[in-house]
């Protein structure tokens, strides 16, 4: 299937990080075997003019599409890629990075299993969202990934938690999650932290929620105690 022109502009995403290096809108490439779903996602994300969305068939030559369009994010259902042991998801990830190293991969799938989660993590995906999730979850994932973070929704997160339970706590958190926790431990509000880090307050809340969930920090006092124990306020 040939590349399709982006549909008319759709709904505004609440907050998008800085534009790409060309100063224009962020480009999102969507690949799914359901063209109606692809067109709906593109239309929804384009509202407000923050995104330039293009959608292609799941069986299109994605390496060529990524090389040609240089998207900031490729949204793809790993379960639809028709991969084999000789050409698995890790190979797919390498192919996409070879086509355009700056393109980040976001999984969007009904297949929410530990096997799928391990595969996308090993392949360099920056996040996964279930197709059963609200579109706001997909928007949050895009925002986090464009801000150099990662995002797994609740369904995938439930698979992720057992995988990270055995890791030392200081290896579980990303650098940005640590920054957010330190900010709250300093007594700053989400808006103040957002201003300091040049991200949205919604993104701050997302990082805080994810970090607290990973560490089982159920209130602000436990958050402060944890940061002090780690020596991050020194």
pLDDT average, residue stretch 150-178:
73
In a domain, residue 126? The reply is yes
Q: Is the pLDDT of residue 10 over 50?
A: no
Print the domain residue range for 39: 26-162
In a domain, residue 8? The reply is no
Say if residue 43 is in the same domain as residue 108: yes
The CATH number for 70's domain is 3.40.50.2300
Say if residue 90 is in the same domain as residue 158: yes
pLDDT average, residue stretch 133-150:
88
Rounded Cα gap, residues 31 and 101, in angstroms: 18
Rounded Cα gap, residues 197 and 179, in angstroms: 9
What residues contact 231, with CB distance under 8 A and at least 6 apart?
Answer: none
Say if residue 155 is in the same domain as residue 199: no
Tell me if residue 61 falls in helix, strand or coil: coil
What residues contact 86, with CB distance under 8 A and at least 6 apart?
Answer: none
Say if residue 143 is in the same domain as residue 64: yes
In a domain, residue 39? The reply is yes
What pLDDT is recorded for position 26? Answer: 92
Q: Render pLDDT for 68-109 as a digit per residue (tens, 0 to 9).
A: 999 999 999 999 998 887 789 999 999 999 999 999 999 999
CA distances from 37 to 34, 41, 82, 108, 175 (A): 5, 6, 19, 11, 35
**Structure-model confidence comparison of residues 150 and 40, the more confident one:** 40
Select from 162, 182, 200 the last residue of a domain.
162
pTM above 0.75, yes or no: no
In a domain, residue 15? The reply is no
The CATH number for 212's domain is 1.10.10.10
**Structure-model confidence comparison of residues 30 and 172, the more confident one:** 30
Select from 129, 162, 195 the last residue of a domain.
162
Q: Is the pLDDT of residue 8 over 50?
A: no
């Amino acid at each position: 299937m040939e590349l399709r022109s982006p549909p008319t502009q759709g709904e505004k995403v609440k907050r998008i990080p800085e534009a790409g290096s060309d100063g224009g809108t962020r480009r999102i490439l969507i690949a799914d075997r359901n063209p109606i779903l692809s067109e709906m996602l593109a239309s929804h994300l384009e509202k407000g003019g923050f995104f330039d969305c293009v959608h292609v068939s799941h069986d299109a030559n994605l390496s060529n599409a990524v090389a040609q369009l240089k998207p900031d994010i490729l949204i793809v259902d790993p379960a639809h890629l028709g991969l084999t042991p000789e050409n698995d998801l890790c190979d797919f990830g390498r192919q996409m990075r070879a086509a355009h190293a700056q393109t980040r991969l976001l999984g969007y799938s009904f297949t929410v299993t530990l096997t799928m989660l391990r595969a996308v993590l090993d392949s360099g995906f920056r996040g996964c969202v279930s197709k059963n999730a609200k579109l706001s979850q997909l928007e949050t994932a895009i925002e986090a990934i464009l801000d150099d973070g990662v995002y797994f929704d609740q369904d995938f997160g439930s698979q992720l938690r057992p995988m990270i339970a055995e890791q030392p706590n200081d290896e579980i958190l990303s650098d940005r999650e640590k920054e957010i926790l330190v900010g709250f431990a300093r007594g700053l509000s989400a808006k103040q932290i957002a201003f300091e880090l040049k991200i949205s307050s919604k993104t701050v809340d997302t990082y805080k929620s994810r970090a607290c969930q990973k560490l089982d920090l159920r209130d602000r006092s436990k958050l402060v105690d944890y940061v002090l124990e780690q020596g991050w306020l020194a």
